[in-house]
Structure 1
Amino acid sequence: MLPVKVVMADDEPGVMLLLCSILSKLEGALVVGTAENAKDTIKLTMEQNPDLAFLDIELPDMKGIELAEKLRDIKPDMAIVFITAHQEYSLDAFKLYASDYILKPIDEERVKSTFLRIYKMLEISKKSNTSSYTKPSRISINLGDERIFIKLNEIFYIERSGRHTLISCTNGKFKTRQTLQELEKYLGKMFFRSHKSFIINTDRIEKIVSFPNSSYCEVKFNNCEDKALLSRDRISELMKYSDYNV
């Protein structure tokens, strides 16, 4: 596996120096940039395409959770680890965005174990993406007393909503507790992560509607009234799913 590219953001230089020192001793870790504010972190992410970010929960220009949202818009599958001096921050908020959180003062063993866990997770994900294994043509969802089978070509989009994931398809909507990242492993090549909260079936797209001064576009589907979101910085990647663009 290629090295895990890491960025970090903290307005305390000593914290970043310590993190850099710890990660430099770990095989597979490659720190590609550090920043003391959210603006520079966003720029770093766009330039370096990192796999993992260590984020202070309190930055001078933005809250860490808000920054995590913006980074996920740029790279939806990025792993996030929050760094905080305040144990009282809501763990529910962390769970929405983070792979882990680390309390200050920084504990070296905690950083090591967190990185190794994320490294293994990313390694498994990349192996599954590059495997020659032919994915099945349908998935099954457990609905309590019954299990339904959904053909992949009948899915319009999949949306993460709160603690659940909604699968919108030709015969209705179905709810599951599986995350988008878990479901992605079983979807076909026509599925695309358009936004941190959406996976869309590119074969079902009818049109994309953009709005002035918005960071998002709406995706409309054939024979479906609902819409999905597409981050503007993902448009060029989505265009690769078309044979011809003018």
Structure 2
Amino acid sequence: MNDLKVVIADDDAVSRAILRNFVRLFPNYDVVAEAATGKELLQLTFELRPHIVLVDIYMPELDGMEAVKLCRQFLPSVQVIFTTGDDQFAVKAFEISATDYIVKPVERIRLFQALEKARTFIEIVNQPVTSMKPLNKRLEIRMKHSIVWLPMEDILFVEKENRKTIIHTADEQYETTLPLNEVEKRLTHCFFKTHRSYIVNLKKVVKITHVGETYKVHFFSCEKVAYISKLKFHEVQRRMVTIHL
């Protein structure tokens, strides 16, 4: 892969210089532009189509959070690393699928780790589609007195409950004795095991919220929720980028 294009956005010139000098120490990353406002970041992202943006939260004209949301509208694949002096926006940052969130003062090693995480996300996005699981259109569910062939796109998530496995759609739920791991093998690449007891259709996710040591998954027009373990959260982020491109 060629060098990844990086744009730095921060209203403080000293902070931009620190980030620029750090990035120059790392191979395979190239700072192509700097922005002092959210509007400048928006324009540069549109013109240069960077792979990665390093963004402060507090900036004039348009704050970093809002600027990133707008950037993602025309460049969904851009990887966002927030670098800010305030830790209170971390959950909101991850809700909009930020790659990482670094609290200032930024340390060189910490920045490198975040950039490498962004590189991993980009490599996943660029993987050939042929490496994904085959696309089966329906899931066969065998129950006590019937067999159901459920369209994959109707499934929101699959849940393990005691010795039962429950497949949830927006309107119905189907119980089977088939183990969760066996169900996982039969699902398409849109599904991911987010927790030891949950497999989620990532195409159906509309919001993720932080609850204690786990994350709650919300679906459109549905009160049912699933869960993501703390250890699986970043992997979910990576896969969400791939799924929604």
Mapped partners of 2:79, 2:2: distance in 1? 16
2:140 is the counterpart of 1:142: no
2:73 is the counterpart of 1:73: yes
Mapped partners of 2:237, 2:22: distance in 1? 31
Mapped partners of 1:180, 1:158: distance in 2? 14
2:207 is the counterpart of 1:161: yes
Mapped partners of 2:241, 2:23: distance in 1? 29
Give runs of aligned pairs for residues 56-135 of structure 1, distance below 5 A: 56-87=56-87, 89-97=88-96, 98-126=98-126, 128=127, 130=128, 132-133=130-131, 135=133
Gaps of 5+ in 1: 194-246
Share of identical aligned residues, percent? 21
Rg: which structure is higher? Answer: 2
RMSD of aligned Cα (Å): 3.2
Mapped partners of 2:111, 2:47: distance in 1? 25
Give runs of aligned pairs for residues 156-235 of structure 1, distance below 5 A: 158-163=204-209, 164=217, 166=219, 176-177=226-227, 179=236, 181-182=238-239, 193=245
Paired residue type of 1:158: K
Structure 2 residue matching 1:53: 3-state secondary structure: strand
Aligned length: 180
What are the Cα deviations for residues 122-164 of structure 1, in whole angstroms up to 9, with x where unaligned?
Answer: 22332x2x25436421368422332547779xx9x63422442
Per the alignment, do residues 125 and 177 of structure 1 end up closer, same or farther by CA in structure 2, a change over 3 Å counting? farther
Per the alignment, do residues 46 and 134 of structure 1 end up closer, same or farther by CA in structure 2, a change over 3 Å counting? same
Contact 2:8 2:55 in 1 (8 A): yes
Q: Which residue of 2 aligns with 1:30?
A: 30
Q: Which residue of 2 aligns with 1:47?
A: 47
Contact 2:84 2:103 in 1 (8 A): yes
TM-score by length of 2: 0.61
The structural deviation recorded for 1:112 is 1.4
Per the alignment, do residues 184 and 44 of structure 1 end up closer, same or farther by CA in structure 2, a change over 3 Å counting? closer
Paired residue type of 2:95: L
TM-score by length of 1: 0.61
Gaps of 5+ in 2: 137-151, 168-182, 190-200, 210-216, 229-235
The structural deviation recorded for 1:173 is 9.9
